[in-house]
Structure 1
């Protein structure tokens, strides 16, 4: 395996090692939205719930899927999108990808159908690491760090996300993509 871990930056993906052993993050892919010396904030990209945004926000009328962003503060709502032209006060994560913004504009755009699941993803909760915690996990080889682009984030079905990221990385990672969840059942 590659022993060099690239530095974590906004827009990186943290790909859970196949045998991470943490049920919160098994086969998860976390988008890093904000990384600094103070800690890291991210959203799990591939844990879709059975709920829709309209189930948790009263004045939303569209059936936009809702994801679990992580185990922290699951009473909070977060969102990423690729439509800063529709949403003021968005925070740029990387080229073509934004986080947060004016929620009234989000609701209006979702209800009008100008903002759909093709351009936005909504999450309850988030993934968070305190100062130095993520670096410790990286040293323990709990995560594979890679880059991506906004198109991949929105165009890849959530149930194919973990494998899709690893296959895109190629080489040794392509082989990891096919590891069974429980190797004893192989």
Structure 2
């Protein structure tokens, strides 16, 4: 579903390039306090990535697992490369890796998500990062979040999510613990305000 949903000629939905911010009453534990970057939204459904949930592995762990580098060679990588965050992108296909990155890198499999951000789901981008040919900014995600036709619209109507335009700064920021509050701040909202509103629903 993922990359077919992101076809170049697809009809863009109103949530494309938006953040979804989970409301306090979110019933699905996968999305408690989640900030989701929506990459594709259409009549066929929606897909995106949770951008504020860490994985317990490092970029060098990924390189070793994929046999792209020997352990002795990983210490030669620049620190910013070793520090590329690995996030839990969502509950679907959690063993599959994706890289959200700035559009200064492209390969045949890269798909533009917005004017500034692309998505690549092949090893091309990882190899390029290791060789110093990669994008200026990148985040790797394992798994993604997906919704069937009309499902996300229903969840928003049921007060499950807030949405707002995304910012590249927040997508690539490594301070994961603060992203939920900072995403709410884009709407001029604090978690305390949401809690009190939820209590009066």
TM-score w.r.t. structure 2 length? Answer: 0.74
Structure 2 CA distance, aligned partners of 1:91 and 1:34?
A: 11
Which residue number corresponds to residue 8 of structure 2? none
Asked if the contact 1:39–1:129 (Cα under 8 Å) also holds between the matched residues in 2, the reply is yes
> What is the alpha-carbon distance in structure 1 between the residues aligned to residue 49 and residue 32 of structure 2?
14
Count of equivalent residues: 169
Against the structure 1 CA distance between its residues 102 and 23, is the aligned structure 2 distance closer, same or farther, given a 3 Å change threshold? closer
Counterpart-to-counterpart distance in 2, 1:115 and 1:154: 15
Q: 2:128 aligns with which of 109, 112, 127?
A: 109
RMSD: 2.4
Distance 1:178 1:68 in 2: 27
Do the aligned partners of 1:9 and 1:35 also contact (CA within 8 Å) in 2?
A: yes
Q: Answer 1 or 2: which has greater helix percent.
A: 2
Is there any run of 5+ residues in structure 1 with no aligned partner, and where? 1-6, 181-186
Confirm or deny: 8 A CA contact 2:97 2:121 kept in the other structure: no
Deviation at 1:159, TM superposition (A): 1.3
In 2, distance between residues paired with 1:26 and 1:9? 20
Distance 2:131 2:192 in 1: 38
Question: Which SS does the other structure have where 1:108 is aligned?
Answer: helix
> What TM-score comes out, normalization by structure 1 length?
0.80
1:34 paired residue number: 40
Cα deviations across residues 76-113 of structure 1 (Å, max 9, x unaligned)? 1111100x333223222122111126532x12322134
Contact 2:98 2:122 in 1 (8 A): no
